[in-house]
Amino acid sequence: MNILILGMPNVGKTSLYNLITNKNNNIIHDTIGTTRDWHVSPLKSNTNIDVYDTPGIINQKSLVTKSVGNIIRKIDIFVYVIDYKAENNFIDKELINELRKFNKEILVIINKDDNFKQDKKIDKLGIKNVYFISCSHNIGIQSFLDFLSEYDVKDNKLINYDFSLGLFGKTNVGKSTLLNKLVGFERSIVSNQPKTTTDIVSSSYKFKGNTYSIKDTAGLIKKNKIDKNSLDFYVTKKTLSIINEINLNLFLIDIAQGFDTQSKKIFNLIYQKSNILLFIINKTDLVKKNKKKVINELIKDINYEFSQSKNIIIMPISTLNKKDILFLKNKIRELILELNKNISTSQINKWLNHVVENNSHPRINGKEVKFKYGTQVSKNPLTIKIFSNFSKEISNSYKRYLLNNFYNFFKIKSRNLKILFSKSKNPYD
């Protein structure tokens, strides 16, 4: 696949080119027209993709020159770069419209968003895929690279994944190592140096007929502990923003560090937004004496800390052990298949009638509380809506009763569950 970086002079095309190709031989300078020739190099994260860097395009005529035309015939995706600080992009509009005539995929990169605010009301020029980045701070690049890696030129669309996974935790707990072991090659950089991973790194693997997308996130820091203008803040903000997009979240701790205060705070952030959470105790190979005892005590501490949580599966592993990785892949598959099961309305109402008969809700203002029927309204997270003559007045103790009973009745071990209450539409109820 071939991609072509275009845009007005001095918007950061060469900076982007050097960054994503790992090439630093192109001169970068504020002087307009510094890049005067074509450059091509493979994408550093996927050598099957060639990246072309162009001199700055200043008008429509620049697109119809012989040299440009020869390149465009090879190109699959146009990457059009805009300066975040630019006040008027009238020329950009004209050039984008000209590019449309070639009937190729067009991406827009808005560069120099150095604080990664993504809040400027900038004209996206009618383009679906727009990415806010900062080349100087290496922020936001990974989402753009993910699109390139997942784009299928033959079908002219993104590759469809069956399921998605996310790796979360403190810095240096082994997230990047686990990613590499799951995908089967060195996709993510591994280092003992904290904060080696500063952006979300995506990859994929196939297992037993399904394709899994997996995202390795930067080590999290509690947001109120860091400067709101710092890179750490925006990295943390971005990491938390993807949780809702993930089918199964994996939370890692280092067995040597245990479930410390920082891990607990990060865990709570992830747990609140997770449908299913797999708690991984990593680096068990480092424990040389009384391994079973150490692991069991740690599991006991975790269960005690979150005794009310219903959707946590704890799994000790060593990423160096192939058997552990295979076991983990099977567990991931098992949990996600459970996640995608629907519960029929008839089954839900059978359960509802059963629990209400066993233990009815106390009267509210002298009126009987009637639960009409229930139905599943969402899979991620599993959400049940119950229609009643009362909705806001249902007691917290009865809500807990319904939740616990639902888990037991349907033998749910790992899915997060929400029960919503809606007032019956019948005015006489």
**Domain end point (choices 301, 320, 339):** 339
- 329 in the same domain as 224: yes
**Domain end point (choices 339, 363, 398):** 339
Which residues are 79's β-sheet partners?
Answer: 5, 107
Q: Is residue 39 part of a domain?
A: yes
For 108-117, 177-186, 346-355, which range has the lowest pLDDT when averaged over its residues? Answer: 108-117
Instruction: Evaluate the omega torsion of the peptide bond into residue 381 and state whether it is cis, within 30 degrees of 0.
Output: yes
pLDDT for 373-427, tens place per residue?
A: 899 988 767 889 999 999 889 999 999 999 989 988 988 766 778 899 998 654 4
pLDDT for the residue numbered 76: 86
pLDDT for the residue numbered 187: 59
Strands 46-53 and 2-7: parallel
Q: CB within 8 A of 139, min separation 6: which ones?
A: 113, 114, 116, 133, 198, 199, 231, 234, 235
Q: Is residue 429 part of a domain?
A: no
State the residue for tokens 């909705």: 391
Q: Say which amino acid occupies 31.
A: T
DSSP 8-state code for residue 361: P
Q: What are phi and psi of 366, to 5 degrees?
A: 80, 0
Strands 248-254 and 201-207: unpaired
Lookup: tokens for 220: 């999290």
- 245 in the same domain as 108: no
Structural domain containing residue 286 = 161-339
pTM, two decimal places: 0.55
For 36-40, 174-178, 227-231, 392-396, which range has the lowest pLDDT when averaged over its residues? Answer: 227-231
State the residue for tokens 């960054």: 19
Q: Return the SS3 of 83.
A: strand
Lookup: tokens for 419: 């029960």
- 87 in the same domain as 63: yes
Check whether 356 has a pLDDT greater than 90.
yes
Q: In terms of DSSP H, where are the helices of 28-107?
A: 66-72, 90-100
Q: Is residue 111 part of a domain?
A: yes
**Dist CA 130 CA 125 (whole Å):** 9
- 307 in the same domain as 166: yes
**Domain end point (choices 119, 152, 185):** 152
- 145 in the same domain as 22: yes
- 354 in the same domain as 379: yes
Q: Is 86 exposed, middle or buried (0-12, 13-18, 19+ CB in 10 A)?
A: middle
Check whether 348 has a pLDDT greater than 90.
yes
- 206 in the same domain as 305: yes
- 180 in the same domain as 145: no
Strands 130-132 and 210-216: unpaired
- 203 in the same domain as 324: yes
32-51 mean pLDDT? 65
For 145-159, 222-236, 379-393, which range has the lowest pLDDT when averaged over its residues? Answer: 222-236
Q: Give the residue from 174, 214, 224 showing the smallest Cα distance to 197.
A: 174
- 316 in the same domain as 187: yes
Please report, for residues 341, 349, 409, the alpha-carbon distance to residue 406 in angstroms, rounded to integers and kept in the order given: 15, 11, 5
Q: Is residue 428 part of a domain?
A: no
Check whether 34 has a pLDDT greater than 90.
no
> If you count DSSP H runs as helices and E runs as strands, how many of each does the chain have, helices first?
11, 17
Q: Is residue 30 part of a domain?
A: yes
pLDDT for the residue numbered 199: 60
Q: For the domain that residue 368 is a member of, what is the CATH number?
A: 3.30.300.20
Q: What are phi and psi of 354, to 5 degrees?
A: -65, -50
Q: CB within 8 A of 234, min separation 6: which ones?
A: 115, 116, 139
- 312 in the same domain as 209: yes
Q: Is residue 79 part of a domain?
A: yes
Lookup: tokens for 421: 């209450």
Vertex 306, ends 302 and 309: CA angle to 5°? 125
**Dist CA 371 CA 381 (whole Å):** 22
How many other CB atoms are found less than 10 A from the CB of residue 61?
Answer: 10
Residues listed for the chain: 429
- 108 in the same domain as 148: yes
Q: Say which amino acid occupies 342.
A: N
Q: Is residue 268 part of a domain?
A: yes
pLDDT for the residue numbered 155: 56
Lookup: tokens for 381: 């997270």
182-187 mean pLDDT? 75
**Residue pair 80/56 in contact by the 8 Å Cβ criterion:** no
Q: For the domain that residue 105 is a member of, what is the CATH number?
A: 3.40.50.300
pLDDT for 77-133, tens place per residue?
A: 899 988 887 766 777 888 888 888 888 889 898 888 776 666 656 666 678 888 888
Q: Is residue 244 part of a domain?
A: yes
Axis crossing angle, helix 345-358 with helix 396-409, rounded to the nearest 10:
120
Lookup: tokens for 349: 């109402």
Rg over CA atoms, the chain = 26
Produce one character per residue of 120-159: b if its CB has 16 or more CB atoms within 10 Å, e if not. Answer: eebeebebebbbbbbbebebbbbbbbbbbbebeeeeeeee
Q: How many domains does the chain have?
A: 3
